[in-house]
Amino acid sequence: MTKTDNETTKIAVPTRRRLQAVKRIGGWHAIGPIVIFLVILLVVAILTPAFIGSGGLAIIASSSAPILLLALGQAMVLNVGSIDLSNAAIGLLGAILLALTLGPVAGLSPLIVLLATTAFGAVNGLILAYAQVPSFALTLGTLGIFQAAALVASNRTTVYVASNGESVRSLYESGIANVPMTFWMGVLLAVALWALLRYTRIGRGMTAIGKNESAAIFSAVRTRSLKVLAFALSGFAAGLAGIAIIAQAGSASPTGLGSDLLLPAIAAALIGGTSISGGVVNPLTVIFGALTVALVPIATTAVGIEAQAQSLVYGAVIIAVVALTMSRNKSSIVK
Amino acid sequence: MVHKVLAEQVAGGMNTTAIRIRESGIERRARFRGLAEPLSLLAALVVLIGVFSLFNERFLTASNLQNVLTQSAIPLIVAVGATLVILLGSIDLSVEGVMGATGMTWILLSANSRGGADLGPWAWVIALGVALVLGVASGLIFTALKVPSFIVTLGMWYIGLGIATMLYGTDLLPRLEDEALSGWTSRITLGLPNSFWVALLVIGLGILVLRSTRIGRVTLAIGNSETIVRSAGLPAFRVKVAVFAIAAVLSGLGGILATVQLDIGSPTVGSGVLFIVIPAVVIGGTHLGGGKGGILRTVLGVFLLTILNNGLILSGVESSYQSAVTGVILVAAIVFAAWSQRDRLRVAK
């Protein structure tokens, strides 16, 4: 009798300890994104060993850079319980503005673009916070405005960088460990945002808004300015994505590279463990969300699924991954 | 002492009277506000029509108005389903994918330039069946697995597009080869384009479902408070699945009509519809949180956007500005609707 008791405790203690360890680093939705990325990567590695050997990881990382930057901004907005449907359009407008201004004002140009995109994001936030309108409808509206602005600014054609493009291009052409600087820029931003959320009053306040906005208001959290800040950060990240697009392509057009990043970026944020209803985010796992989104098309080809089925697999993966990693309880209401 | 108590009682009585007066005032204003939005939308429509007919005399001709009705028919059909989903408090992003999958299925099973089987009316049944399966799948994943509708329908958008692309394959593009059908949508019957008659039928059925069936009433109730619906023992689960299925079938119908209108099959036959439909629902005054709104309001929203786009093009405004106009109207409409309810403690997501 005592023997069996001992045995069960022997088994139970390590599992409990392991569970506690998982809890300490933030639960299943914190390690889920990493595990999912590694599993898909493992499948690709087994089926096409040549891909991993020939710098495939670097290719995934470099193609995920604009998605990662946009996803980080999106994650900040999702964290305060809102959504920013306009950030990819802001990023593309930023890329077009950069291509237009890089010739005339050279080094100042990226700075101007970042200022402009941050301001665009902040305008979203200001209208949201002071007119108290739903973010989905508001940013859907501003999405249309930014899209039109991109069409008008580029005159519906591809804008090439006239001169002074070398400095921006070097962000893509130089790198650490064969991975371009544009990706490391995203990693750096992720670490900065993680520190902001973890260690500062501002970041804690943002998460509080996402968890329970009424409670945050009653606890004297400055909800309005923090929401504006979240949207401004999304605009800033979109500006960086615009720079990454120019670094990669050397040109920008309303229908070219970066014109359909909105949904992949949202998917990356969600696969990265961000809750769509707010209050749960980890910028560090969003990195793996973006890598997964960039890996899925490569993985489908590696597994031997025909190219036409790619978007089908993509859709199924989004649903499956979120269904697997989402934290939920039985009585909760999901909209 | 006694005087003081009396005075307090009197004051208390006055307070309750004051509160009652205030309450009835709020009620009256709320009733007015309920009408104010549709009325202001109607007024906006009339003003728009007036302004555009001044800019270009072609605007108010019968042929252009029929043109506007043809353009609005497909968004109207899709928007009826989208309104039902938004009344639940959920969102359906999958419309363009479902339109693509249904449209491709339909044209490949009808008389087309690729040959293959011509199933006639069965093509409609099978194609709408594909839409139904996609809708039921969305609904089941949403309700049973509790994945937010935003994500489920985002995934279903891609899945629908994937099915359409796989059906399209690498062959030549399928062209519709049915004399009776090609151009059917814009042909005029009794003064109105055929596709608009279909839209009217769908709107009528939609209103009927929302007003007089259990599905409709429970849909509104779920939007207001799902907790109460569940504790009242109403079938929240089944109704949610049914609403997603209805929405997908309507998107599918829109996809078939769009294919007929285009005369060729294309996986991206629905592209751009989502950016008309959701703004139209919101401009019409249906709350994204659910529970408040209706189909007729959405109809006004669709008309407002279609007339604006048609009128602006006729007035010589470059088409680059089109999405900005929709965007500005959408932002203005939601700010206008929310302005009177602003409150420091209000939570708007």
Chain B residue closest in CA terms to A313? B159
Chain B residue closest in CA terms to A220? B345
Tell me which chain A residues have a C-beta less than 8 angstroms from the C-beta of B323.
143-145, 147-148, 151
Whether the CB of A217 is below 8 Å from some CB of chain B: the reply is yes
Highest mean pLDDT among A101-115, A171-185, B20-34, B291-305: B291-305
The span from the first CA to the last CA of chain B, in angstroms, equals 52
Report CB contact under 8 Å: B338, A132: yes
Chain B residue closest in CA terms to A306? B166
Distance from CA of A278 to the nearest CA of B (A): 10
| Residue A216: both structure tokens together | 């945050």
Chain A residue closest in CA terms to B278? A137
pLDDT for residue A7 is more than 50: no
Across the interface, which of A217, A278, A319 has its CB nearest the CB of B141? A319
| Distances B84 to A324, B209, B326 between C-alpha atoms, Å | 28, 10, 22
pLDDT of residue B11: 55
Report CB contact under 8 Å: A137, B157: no
* pLDDT greater at residue A205 or residue A317: A205
Whether the CB of B142 is below 8 Å from some CB of chain A: the reply is yes
Report CB contact under 8 Å: A311, B158: yes
DSSP A70-85: HHHHHHHHHHTT---T
3 state SS of A192: helix
Whether the CB of A96 is below 8 Å from some CB of chain B: the reply is no
* pLDDT greater at residue A328 or residue B333: B333
Q: How confident is the model at residue A8 (pLDDT cuts 50, 70, 90)?
A: very low
pLDDT for residue A4 is more than 50: no
Of A161-165, A204-208, B146-150, the range with the lowest mean pLDDT is A161-165
Tell me which chain A residues have a C-beta less than 8 angstroms from the C-beta of B156.
315, 319
Task: List the domains of chain A with CATH numbers.
Answer: 28-325 (1.10.3470)
Distance from CA of B198 to the nearest CA of A (A): 28
Distance from CA of B327 to the nearest CA of A (A): 4
pLDDT for residue A69 is more than 90: yes
Cα angle at B25 between B21 and B29, to 5 degrees? Answer: 175
Across the interface, which of B320, B335, B344 has its CB nearest the CB of A131? B335
Whether the CB of B61 is below 8 Å from some CB of chain A: the reply is no
Q: pLDDT tens digits, chain B, 349 residues: what are they? A: 555 555 555 555 556 777 777 777 777 766 666 677 778 888 888 888 888 888 888 888 888 889 899 999 999 999 999 999 999 999 999 999 999 999 999 999 988 888 777 888 899 999 999 999 999 999 999 999 888 898 899 999 999 999 999 998 888 888 888 777 877 888 888 888 899 999 999 999 999 999 999 999 999 999 988 889 888 889 999 999 999 999 999 999 999 999 999 888 888 898 889 989 999 998 888 888 888 888 999 999 999 999 988 888 888 888 888 888 888 988 888 888 778 777 777 776 6
Chain B residue closest in CA terms to A254? B320
Distance, in Å, from the CA atom of B236 to the CA atom of A176, rounded to the nearest integer, reads 54
Q: Please say whether the beta carbons of A18 and A269 come within 8 A.
A: no
Distance, in Å, from the CA atom of A114 to the CA atom of A145, rounded to the nearest integer, reads 18
| Distances A75 to A82, A97, A289, B196 between C-alpha atoms, Å | 10, 25, 11, 42
For the stretch A47-62, what's the b/e string if a residue is b when 16 or more beta carbons lie within 10 angstroms of its beta carbon?
A: ebeebbeeebbebbbb
Chain B residue closest in CA terms to A263? B154
Distance, in Å, from the CA atom of B111 to the CA atom of B237, rounded to the nearest integer, reads 40
- Residues 206-245, chain B, touching A (beta carbon < 8 A): 226-227
Distance, in Å, from the CA atom of A181 to the CA atom of A170, rounded to the nearest integer, reads 8
| Residue B317: both structure tokens together | 């405004």
Across the interface, which of B88, B321, B327 has its CB nearest the CB of A141? B327
| Residue A173: both structure tokens together | 């052409």
Across the interface, which of A145, A323, A335 has its CB nearest the CB of B328? A145
Q: How many CB pairs under 8 A join A and B?
A: 180
pLDDT of residue B346: 73
DSSP state letter for A158? P
Chain B residue closest in CA terms to A270? B151
Tell me which chain A residues have a C-beta less than 8 angstroms from the C-beta of B320.
148, 151-152, 156
pLDDT for residue A58 is more than 90: no
3 state SS of B264: strand
DSSP B288-326: TTSSS--HHHHHHHHHHHHHHHHHHHHTT--GGGHHHHH
**What is B70-329's CATH number?**
1.10.3470
Report CB contact under 8 Å: A326, B162: no
* pLDDT greater at residue B42 or residue A71: A71
Distance from CA of A197 to the nearest CA of B (A): 20
Report CB contact under 8 Å: B326, A270: no
pLDDT of residue A116: 96
Whether the CB of A167 is below 8 Å from some CB of chain B: the reply is no
Report CB contact under 8 Å: B145, A323: yes
Whether the CB of A311 is below 8 Å from some CB of chain B: the reply is yes
Dihedral (C-alpha) A166, A169, A172, A175: value to the nearest 10 degrees?
Answer: 20
pLDDT of residue A5: 47
Q: Please say whether the beta carbons of A92 and A86 come within 8 A.
A: no
Tell me which chain A residues have a C-beta less than 8 angstroms from the C-beta of B169.
308
Q: How confident is the model at residue A1 (pLDDT cuts 50, 70, 90)?
A: very low
**Domain regions of chain B by residue span:** 70-329
pLDDT for residue A57 is more than 70: yes
Report CB contact under 8 Å: A318, B90: no
Q: To which residue do tokens 């403690």 refer?
A: B345
pLDDT digits (tens, 9 = 90+) for A15-40: 566 556 555 555 666 787 888 889 88
